[in-house]
Amino acid sequence: MFPIILQPTASDPTKVGTRSTFFLLLAALALIPNLLSCGNPSSPSSSSTASPANTDPITLDYATTTVDSVRRFAPGIIATAANNEFSIAFGPDGRTAYFVRRLDGQKQKIYRTDFREGQWSTPQVAPFSTDRDESPSLTPDGQTFFFGSERAISDQPNLGGFDMNIWQMQKPGDGWGPPQALPAPINAVQIAGEQWPSSNASFFYTADNERFYFSTMRRGERAIKIYETHREGTSFSPPMAIEGLFASDQYWTSSPVLSPDGQFLLFNAYDAPGGRGGEDLFVSQKVGETWSRAKPLGDQINSAAEEANPTFSRDGKYFFFARDVKSGPEAEGIWSIYYLETAYLGLDQLFD
């Protein structure tokens, strides 16, 4: 039930659980889609669909019809019936996606697929994914790739039970450079006697390459919390917990992302008030430099199953998440990736 990494459970950390004259013309052409949208009174509000990270994003249609209700994403290609799939991320142009897949009895890996002529290509294991890897996340410029991994950090052996840490890769040319573990204070390798989820972290997110969000249970604490940190040269500032999302800090919160307009913080929470039980998705509204009390995304997203890993397409048009569906009360669930057009989330209306 660790929502950051989606795979370990309290009883078995190896299994899936809750968890960017001529220039003026270009500018005018870029406004046409927005003008057309404003002229369509039947369209839902799209105030939360403009991405601050991409000043001129490429709009892509991942579906041939309006996605006004939740459905599985690219069924049979990305969302399959036999495998666990979760935690999707997109390159800056929206034409490349990375997601996590766990084949039966194997460690999960990060897969890559490309959007060509209206179809996603057959996913392939990314060359860098050589261990138990998950939680892909790219900076808006596509030059840095973050992911979580169980792989060992050189000269920092894990002395605890199960340890995931955050790694990054830079893009010096056409391909990714070698993975490097993030330094402290982001990563904290387990010490002797320490057990999951203490000191585990795998998801690292930014919308502007300056302010970063992640979640972890700090050593000696009893809850997984969402933290904010800022880039300081090659390292990061001391992480500060985001407080006040719930009346009590006992609830485990993880996988934080911002809405395309930056006004909402979406995340997982476990057994939190207003949810459907187990892992559910919640949202908090920006109030000055702080965040409001969180509200559940509602029954359109949350269900009797488990939901986790919220994210958005690069152009902000689509909202994605993972859902764990069980075939029966005693059956082990299968995680799949689902999506919905962001306009139908109604984020503004939740806080009216």
Q: What is the pLDDT of residue 24?
A: 35
Residues 19-34, mean pLDDT to the nearest whole number: 38
How many domains in the chain?
1
Residue 18 has pLDDT above 90, yes or no: no
The answer to whether residue 15 is domain-embedded is no
DSSP state of 29: H
φ and ψ of 256, to 5 deg = -75, 135
The answer to whether residue 149 is domain-embedded is yes
Range of the domain at 294: 22-350
Q: What is the DSSP string of 116-152?
A: ETTEEPPPEE-TT--SSEEEEEE-TTS-EEEEEE-SP
Query: Which whole-number Å values give the CA distances from 126 to 17, 100, 123, 174, 179, in the listed order?
Result: 23, 10, 9, 14, 12
The answer to whether residue 88 is domain-embedded is yes
Residues 3-30, mean pLDDT to the nearest whole number: 39
CATH, residue 73: 2.120.10.30
Q: Report residue 339 as tokens.
A: 């999506």
* Whether the Cβ atoms of residue 216 and residue 178 lie closer than 8 Å to each other: no
φ and ψ of 119, to 5 deg = -135, 150
Please list, in sequence order, all residues whose beta carbon lies within 8 angstroms of the beta carbon of residue 349, skipping any fewer than 6 positions away.
Answer: 45
The answer to whether residue 134 is domain-embedded is yes
Range in 2-16, 121-135, 187-201, 253-267 with the lowest mean pLDDT: 2-16
Say which residue, 319 or 3, is predicted with more confidence: 319
Q: Which tens digits make up the pLDDT trace of 85-116?
A: 999 999 999 999 999 999 999 999 999 999 99
The answer to whether residue 7 is domain-embedded is no
- In angstroms, the CA 113 to CA 98 distance is 7
* Whether the Cβ atoms of residue 100 and residue 126 lie closer than 8 Å to each other: no
Q: Tell me the whole-structure pTM to 2 decimals.
A: 0.84
